[in-house]
Chain A
């Protein structure tokens, strides 16, 4: 690249100035020597050293030399350009030169401050100065670029700092956008009770400001919103904000009717878990904006998502918990035409995914449904709003057919069901034994389906009594749901002997009242639900010995856990790891040969494969063998395309068969499945048929049909364990009849069980609130809104988060009831808080007689946060005062490391507390424990601490402990800092431009900081910083334009090859391609001078102004001046140096 370097002509006269910076530089660097040495450089006209180049004398020196000696270039070797580049550029300009004909060498931060080695430091200073000299001769005069400032400002965060900044700017007549993540502005200050040291009420001084913000014509308040993206630069930021939907529109009058009816009770974020709120809520009464927000998540609750028919279990559980049974039943029957049946016999996949299972055990969801249905007794299914003329024929009246019929009928279609058997209900009628599902129940629920106009024709087998073709002619669509009613065979010798029965036929015969004769010894083969049903039915028919034979172990047994338990209680013997190999007998069964098994490697179902043990065969006498190893469909007569195992072949999404108008689902498609699985396919078919009639897309948006795993995650930390309610059953002795075994929950048990719900999706979609909202403000269909705003400046005021005290286990928070955090105590002493200002223990009743306040919880600690959080000493003193005020007899202990009370009136406040009689113990608390050593300590919390002023370990028994946790950065501060392209330190606080001289600005022009997001801060400091940030922005706005560094890229159009590589590389979209010329071109107004394109250009024809190849290569060569001689030295001898 050397060929690009042009010799500087005519010869430049460089002035070099070496700064002592007092002793900062001169102590280590021999500045006189450097100055003398620099003079030898042929470009240098004059070289000086000076005590303080930044002083007015130093600056005048430059100006004077330019004028008198005719200098054309200036080099100053001093501190970082961050500090004084502007100073010296101005001096250069004052002397009559273009300010860009100046170069700065940093011999302080980069040199003298880094070492004590004087020789090395002086050597490095020479190199840095030489580099600057060699560079500056190639400098070109440049002009600043003016940029107009958009007068609008974005403020992120609606705490006291953001509010102050917003009001300052808005009062000055500027448009402000205030974006707040929470539903209300106010931030942490709104949660506080009193503010130190003057003890004025936090809300009293904050809420007027909050309502000012709400009413201000110049402030556009965007609560429950988050900034998604930020583009552009100072003066012209392009910001995208996501306004999360509150599902409540502007018609809301904040009348609180919805809050009163909402059945979902979750812990309140505003009261930090000390109180509760409903799913539709207002964080606190003075919230701004004064409107309600409905907490909805992006996905359904686990139970709803995990249910194949998406029964709103979360909804009815919440309603049962609140005693709203009628409403619960209404909600249940919206999705489910067989509610009582599902409440009894559903396999409840919802319970498998219930998040409560992560705490202790899942909620008893199915039995709660049964409770609601039994409690209310009568119900009405939904009726069609308008009748339609299309007719649908359904083959099979099992759960799948009934579910399909209900959904179609709800939509107004004319539905007729054909049933081959003499009873309606399919497997419900002939597969599930009476003791689990009473026929009366089934009859009642089928009656309800008939009530809404579904016709059921019994004793009609399609394919025999009527052909499918005829149905197709008579109906506009047909749904086949004939189930799987044919028992599979094991395939062993003797299986055809008399006395060997099929389980499904056996159950059907018993249920339909046909005579079945069994001997005294019955063996049931299989381990599924129907095997258990068969065995328990046989026992109820009076069989003496019922033995179940299952080839795997109990762990792999697919039958319901509780039912296996009940079968064992009823005296049924189960032989695990056993399999029949031969049935022996002359005409009827006499003996069966069984073989023992062992478990091998897992098969495709994930269960371990049973392997026969050679030679373990043994014979058992028996009278009957009932085989229940699985069923398959019998649909030969329908002449539909089938899969090789016998199921109907259908489209996986739409359930359409090989015939366009015919759909199929349920067990005849997927094989033996659960009731709810069959119902889900019925509902899917109903949807497909509806779409077909309405000529809608058959596939779009159907991903969430059937069970899936919800993506919501619930925080289970700190949840108390409460065991799952067990369903009461009739005693095993009484189970000889077909009486229903399960009795159902009592009201008390049901409510208690329903109250275990974690409300993982918060809102339960019961829509009760919409029924009471008079202004009709609640709209479940509202969606997030994306808003684009253009602003000139941004103020970041995102605040802080409290340290999670659970991280320090020895302080016992979360384990010991009466250990509180500071924010919990703030809410407690607040008159509008959960205890209305009473200081009480966790039982919300008894007042503490003694309170210990623990300072520095997570602050000043290498294990957590090294920094001091600044505010804890003062608010801990305030707490002590509040306890003295409310409970004059209580003893208060403040355990501190150092009392830090710098601030106006702060030390006086400390003095006041000393006089009020607070006990001060100088020592960091070692631990808080409830294990007593003496009588006096019994029943108390013991604070163990060394009183370092008397040098003795003390154990202080108290009733209440308040922890003063560290202030920490917001957990997402790193992402925030990346979003706004500013810095973020190790602790997560945003980095200011200068820790002393500019704690307001950031390294990104036009982005300012306010409040605790920059570092721990109290209210007055946050207010001051908020106002300061506003004044910085106001100053920029009134200036109208700012001068930007002219460091921009430019493309040599002559040499550009038009490859367009730079067009896509540019992060600011500042490069356009000019089609007619076939070259790329930089839009100077958009270019930020980042240099990406310069590096990317394969032809090397993009130049960054002030960073040209000439300039950089000369600087490098200048820096390496003492290496130049080495070029002459043969390789291998370099170590001489």
Chain B
């Protein structure tokens, strides 16, 4: 009987679709964290996150905000001298934490990601007014008002559609998505 895979193996397995080298080829050079535009807002740098995954520090990895703060600019992936798809690692940890429902209560990231994926799966396109509630609750009343004003103006100019847009042959698209993402019946 196979042993229960370690945390680092689980994350590696989630990277099967990413390109590049396995995460244990990391030489801890820090190019990713030096490059990262949001590294200063993360409580662990991307380099340390990879180190922690390789050290199987599952709880510390899941608890940190690093992977939710990743802006997916892929700059680290481009520059990594060990050819690791670091942005891909961030997605792997996000998926892991959503599936295991281990993310913190007050984080915008998980709610936003979930809402985003759901609207896409439902209509084939993203729709701002549906996405907004996932992050609007984190604003103060003043910012909330400002956002609403901006949104209304954009809607009047036709920059935001009034009704959710739909794509053609949505069923085919949904079937395709189901093959890729094990979303369960929630969609």
Q: Which residues of A contact B (CB under 8 A)?
A: 810, 856, 860-863, 897-898, 922-927, 944-948, 951-953
Contacts and interface: CB of A to CB of B under 8 A. Distances in A.
B21 A945 contact: no
B83 A927 contact: no
A661 B1 CA distance: 104
Contacts of A922: 30
A898 B32 CA distance: 16
A897 B26 CA distance: 12
B126 interface: no
B34 A944 contact: yes
Contacts of B83: 862-863
A368 B31 CA distance: 52
B45 A923 contact: no
A947 B33 CA distance: 9
Contacts of B32: 946
Contacts of A948: 28-30, 33, 47
A923 B79 CA distance: 13
A924 B82 contact: no
A924 B45 contact: no
B46 to A, nearest CB: 9
Contacts of B29: 856, 860, 897, 923-924, 948
Contact of B34 (A863, A898, A923): A923
B81 A945 contact: no
Contact of A863 (B30, B48, B81): B81
Residue among B21, B28, B30 having the largest count of chain A Cβ atoms under 10 Å: B30
Given A926-B31, A948-B30, A953 B81 contact: no
Contact of A924 (B36, B39, B81): B81
Given A810-B79, A924-B81, A860 B27 contact: yes
Given A926-B33, A945-B30, A946-B32, 16 more contacts: A810-B79, A856-B81, A861-B81, A862-B81, A862-B82, A863-B81, A923-B33, A925-B34, A944-B34, A945-B34, A946-B33, A948-B33, A952-B45, A953-B33, A953-B39, A953-B40
A862 B21 contact: yes
Contacts of B40: 953
Nearest to A866: B81
Nearest to A955: B34
B35 interface: yes
Nearest to A898: B27
- 8 nearest A-B residue pairs (beta carbon): A926-B34, A946-B30, A923-B30, A861-B81, A946-B33, A862-B83, A924-B29, A926-B35
Contact residue range for chain B? 20 to 34
Contacts of B30: 922-924, 926, 945-948
Nearest to B82: A862
Contacts of A926: 30-31, 33-35, 79
A945 B21 CA distance: 22
A1024 B39 CA distance: 47
B62 to A, nearest CB: 19
Chain B interface, DSSP helix/strand/loop, else mixed: loop
Contacts of B82: 862
Contacts of B44: 951
A945 B35 CA distance: 7
Contact of A946 (B27, B34, B80): B34
Given A924-B31, A924-B34, A946 B47 contact: yes
Nearest to A897: B29
Contacts of A856: 29, 81
B81 to A, nearest CB: 4
A1068 to B, nearest CB: 45
13 contacts: A897-B27, A923-B29, A923-B34, A924-B30, A924-B34, A926-B34, A944-B34, A945-B34, A946-B32, A948-B29, A952-B45, A953-B34, A953-B39
Nearest to B35: A926
Contacts of B81: 856, 860-863, 924
Nearest to A808: B79
Contacts of A924: 29-31, 34, 81
B21 A953 contact: no
Contacts of A925: 31, 34
B45 A927 contact: no
A1118 B56 CA distance: 52
A613 B79 CA distance: 58
B89 to A, nearest CB: 16
Contacts of B79: 810, 863, 926
A926 B35 CA distance: 5
A952 to B, nearest CB: 8
Contacts of B31: 923-926, 946
A860 B27 CA distance: 10
A927 B79 CA distance: 10
Interface in B7-29: 21, 27-29
B53 to A, nearest CB: 15
A898 B30 CA distance: 11
B185 to A, nearest CB: 42
B34 A951 contact: no
A677 B129 CA distance: 73
B28 A927 contact: no
A925 B40 CA distance: 16
A924 B47 CA distance: 11
A703 B49 CA distance: 69
Nearest to B46: A946
Given A927-B35, A946-B33, A953 B45 contact: yes
Nearest to A810: B79
Interface string B70-91: 0000000001111100000000
Interface in B30-71: 30-36, 39-40, 44-45, 47-48
Nearest to A921: B30
A934 to B, nearest CB: 13
A953 B76 CA distance: 13
B57 to A, nearest CB: 14
Nearest to A859: B81
A946 B79 CA distance: 14
Nearest to A944: B34
B84 to A, nearest CB: 9
A951 B48 contact: yes
B28 A953 contact: no
A992 to B, nearest CB: 26
Contacts of B47: 946, 948, 951
Nearest to B34: A926
Contacts of A897: 27, 29
Contacts of B27: 860, 897-898
A1059 B173 CA distance: 70
A841 B89 CA distance: 41
Contacts of A862: 21, 80-83
Contacts of A944: 34-35
Q: Which of B29, B33, B40, B44 has the largest count of A CB atoms less than 10 A from its CB?
A: B29
A856 B34 CA distance: 15
B25 to A, nearest CB: 9
A174 B106 CA distance: 82
Contacts of A861: 81
A946 B29 CA distance: 8
Nearest to A952: B45
B159 to A, nearest CB: 30
A925 B39 CA distance: 15
B45 A951 contact: yes
Contacts of A923: 29-31, 33-34
Nearest to B76: A926
A945 B29 CA distance: 10
A662 to B, nearest CB: 72
B21 A946 contact: no
Contacts of B48: 951
Contacts of A952: 45
B75 to A, nearest CB: 8
A945 B40 CA distance: 12
A579 to B, nearest CB: 49
A869 to B, nearest CB: 13
Contacts of A946: 30-34, 39, 45, 47
